[in-house]
Copies of this chain bind each other. A is one copy, B any other.
Amino acid sequence: MPATLREVAERAGVSVRTVSNVVNDFPQVAPDTRAKVQRALDELGYQPNAVARTLRRGRSGLIALVLPELDVPYFAELTRAVIEQAAAAGYTVVVDQTDGDPVRERELVMRGSRAAMFDGLIFNPLALGDADLRDRPSSTPVVLLGERVVQGGLDHIMVDNVGAAELATRHLIALGRQRIAAIGDQSDESRQTGRLRTQGYQNALRAAGVEVVPELIRPTEFFHRADGAAAMADLLALPDPPDAVFCYNDLLALGALRTILSRGLRVPEDIALVGFDDIEDGRYSTPSLTTIRPDKTQIAKHAVQLLLNRLDGDQSAPAEVPADYDLVVRESTTGISTY
């Protein structure tokens, strides 16, 4: 049986009202008294009532961050940023990964029961699409990240993938590269990121009068190092290999880099590389990676703010908020300066 407030009060030698003040985090309790009560609460295992307190308040103080893969550095870095922004607003972030599994995404986001533990959700879907989210029955506010959903009727923070891919590709064109490959295409309708980045890549080539060569556009199943390494091996096996590659994320680029260097080829002399995400790994690789840097802090800040607005009763139309990005030029396109 869980302890009652009265039992805690007796143990601590204080009034029930004082225990209640501590439980509800009211400020008018002396630190000594608070410590004494907290100790009694803990000793008596006041567990269920912590949950009950949440119930009374109608808020849990928890934001769920639902991401495909925590061990993908982009998501790990984004998670850090979200935790920091949420903490500043007094919220604890609960992180869960879906591996892009539609069943798991649905369970975590769509169903009322689990979602009900959280005041709000920040969700980067890989499997669920517009139609799924339009049918979402729960009333917990959701902010979407990523490109999977374009018309979900929910607040959404996104990077202009077409524009960013154009910027990356234009950089390679400006360096005089003629046979520019792309790694990470995803023709699958459900994978918007790859599709949009291919579109930007092709836009840039066409604008510069460079031919789009289908065999230079390599699809990958995931955006992991292993996918980049394998795709690069395929490109090197072509009769006429590329002299530059735009990889749709840094992990793909780091995998491709590994393949190129292990063949005794040089980056950027033989093949220039551009990535996407600006993860720390790419800043310390040799050569360091030229990459598109989305503003992760800004993404996190907007996401938390949009949730808080909805919790405060904001009923305005769902917002589409663009996140800033820029191109960070490093050694993988401009060469290594040894010192």
Q: Among the listed B38, B54, B76, B254, which residue makes an inter-chain contact with A70, where contact means beta carbons less than 8 Å apart?
A: B76
Query: Given A94-B95, A255-B284, A262-B336 in contact, is the A139-B71 Cβ separation under 8 Å?
Result: no
Number of A interface residues in the complex (CB < 8 A): 64
User: Which B residues are CB-close (under 8 A) to A261?
Assistant: 286
User: Which B residues are CB-close (under 8 A) to A79?
Assistant: 70-71, 95
Q: Chain A 104-141 against B: per-residue CB contact (8 Å), 1 yes, 0 no?
A: 00000001111011000000000000000000011110
Interface residue? A15 (CB, 8 A): no
Q: Please determine whether A42 and B280 come into contact, CB atoms closer than 8 angstroms.
A: no
Q: How far is the CA of A83 from the CA of B113 in the complex (A)?
A: 19
Q: Please determine whether B60 and A70 come into contact, CB atoms closer than 8 angstroms.
A: no
Query: Which residues, 193 to 248 on A, are CB-close (under 8 Å) to B?
Result: 225, 229
Closest B residue to A225 using CB positions: B284
Q: Please determine whether B70 and A80 come into contact, CB atoms closer than 8 angstroms.
A: yes
Q: Among the listed B41, B55, B285, which residue makes an inter-chain contact with A285, where contact means beta carbons less than 8 Å apart?
A: B285
Query: Given A71-B77, A96-B92 in contact, is the A50-B112 Cβ separation under 8 Å?
Result: yes
Q: Among the listed B54, B73, B112, B339, which residue makes an inter-chain contact with A73, where contact means beta carbons less than 8 Å apart?
A: B73
Main SS at interface, chain A: helix
**Most chain B beta carbons < 10 A, residue from A23, A113, A281:** A113
Q: Please determine whether A113 and B258 come into contact, CB atoms closer than 8 angstroms.
A: no
Interface residue? A97 (CB, 8 A): yes
Closest B residue to A336 using CB positions: B262
Interface residue? A48 (CB, 8 A): yes
Query: Which residues, 48 to 106 on A, are CB-close (under 8 Å) to B?
Result: 48-55, 58, 60, 69-71, 73, 76-77, 79-80, 83, 92-97
Interface residue? A10 (CB, 8 A): no
Q: Please determine whether A48 and B39 come into contact, CB atoms closer than 8 angstroms.
A: no
Interface residue? A28 (CB, 8 A): no
Q: How far is the CA of A197 from the CA of B281 in the complex (A)?
A: 24
Closest B residue to A60 using CB positions: B51
Q: Please determine whether A117 and B51 come into contact, CB atoms closer than 8 angstroms.
A: yes
**26 A–B contacts, CB within 8 A, in A order:** A38-B111, A38-B137, A43-B137, A45-B139, A47-B140, A49-B116, A50-B114, A50-B116, A51-B54, A69-B80, A70-B95, A71-B73, A71-B77, A71-B79, A71-B80, A71-B280, A73-B76, A80-B97, A83-B96, A83-B97, A95-B95, A254-B284, A258-B284, A258-B286, A261-B286, A286-B286
A residues at B contact (CB < 8 Å): 23, 38-39, 41-43, 45-55, 58, 60, 69-71, 73, 76-77, 79-80, 83, 92-97, 111-114, 116-117, 137-140, 225, 229, 254-255, 257-258, 261-264, 280-281, 283-286, 288, 336, 338-339
Shortest beta-carbon contacts, A-B, top 3: A42-B137, A50-B116, A42-B112
